[in-house]
Structures are given as structure tokens and as C-alpha cells.
């Protein structure tokens, strides 16, 4: 979908997974790289998290997205994030870490922001409904 948006001429694309909640602040990350994502610290896999992506269209981005789409997840438990992170390692300057306020994991001290702009429950559907209700004041 991000590649489709680039091909349709959009200059800035924001991707949010279905298990995220945007709290309404303008999405201004200040990044310079084509891809802005939070870098999550996980006990077993430190990685750029693709649950929230802020992209700036460029030829470099388009080439990266095409290669990512054609890559295998190698049956990794982090699915599309695994080949994406492997490609980022081979593509200097393609990605930049943005603050955890843009992809704050409500359940993770290491990846949570005290002032989130986007809250997420990646891989935790058991917590998402309750968490969304909490943030919406329901």
C-alpha cells in the first residue's frame, strides 16, 4: 500500500497497523530519511518496528519497497519486519529511528512513551481492546 501511494504521487505516507491508536496530534517526526520508524528493544529481537511508518517518497524509497515486497519472511515470527530489517542493514540512510511517542507500546517499559502520540499493542490482541477503551476514556 505504501508503494501504491508513492506511485500515485503522494509525497508523504503514514502507515498505521490495525492494532494502533492515533491520539490526534499532527504527525511531524522531523526525520530526514525516507523511512521513519521506532526502533524497538525486544528481549530477543531489536528491530525497526513496521507497525507505524512515516515515509517520504523518493526513488530510493521506491526501490527499497520493491525489494522488501519481493523478500521472503523466512518464516520468521516477526513476519514482514524480518526482511525489512535485513534490507535496512544493507541500505544506509533509508531508515531513521523516530521517538517512541510515535509507536508507544502500552505494555512495554522499554518501548513506551510517557507522552504518546500513537499507542500500539503489536502482537497483543488480548490487551488491545481494553487499552483502546482506556485511551478513548470509555
Q: Where are the alpha helices (DSSP H) in 48-114?
A: 59-69, 81-90
Torsion sign, CA atoms 77, 99, 86, 34: positive
Pick the CATH number of 2-135 from 3.90.45.10, 3.90.550.10, 3.40.50.1820, 3.90.1150.200: 3.90.550.10
Q: What is the pLDDT tens value at each position of the chain, 138 positions in all?
A: 888 899 899 999 999 998 999 998 888 888 899 999 999 887 777 888 888 999 999 999 999 999 887 876 666 555 677 778 889 999 999 999 999 999 999 888 888 999 999 999 988 888 998 998 999 887
pLDDT on residue 72 = 62
Q: How far is CA 62 from CA 32, 68, 75, 85, 89, in A?
A: 16, 10, 25, 16, 17
d(CA 32, CA 136): 32
Amino acid at each position: 500500500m505504501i508503494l501504491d501511494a508513492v506511485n500515485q504521487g503522494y509525497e508523504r505516507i503514514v502507515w498505521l497497523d490495525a492494532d494502533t491508536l492515533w491520539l490526534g496530534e499532527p504527525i511531524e517526526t522531523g526525520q530526514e530519511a525516507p523511512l521513519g520508524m521506532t526502533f524497538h528493544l525486544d528481549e530477543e529481537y531489536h528491530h525497526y518496528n513496521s507497525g507505524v511508518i512515516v515515509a517520504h517518497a523518493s526513488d530510493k524509497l521506491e526501490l527499497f519497497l520493491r525489494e522488501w515486497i519481493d523478500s521472503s519472511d523466512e518464516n520468521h515470527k516477526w513476519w514482514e519486519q524480518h526482511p525489512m530489517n535485513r534490507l535496512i542493514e544493507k541500505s544506509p540512510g533509508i531508515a531513521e529511528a523516530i521517538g517512541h511517542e510515535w509507536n508507544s507500546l502500552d505494555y512495554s517499559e522499554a518501548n513506551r512513551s510517557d507522552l504518546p502520540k500513537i499507542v500500539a499493542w503489536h502482537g497483543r490482541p488480548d490487551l488491545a481492546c481494553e487499552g483502546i477503551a482506556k485511551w478513548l476514556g470509555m
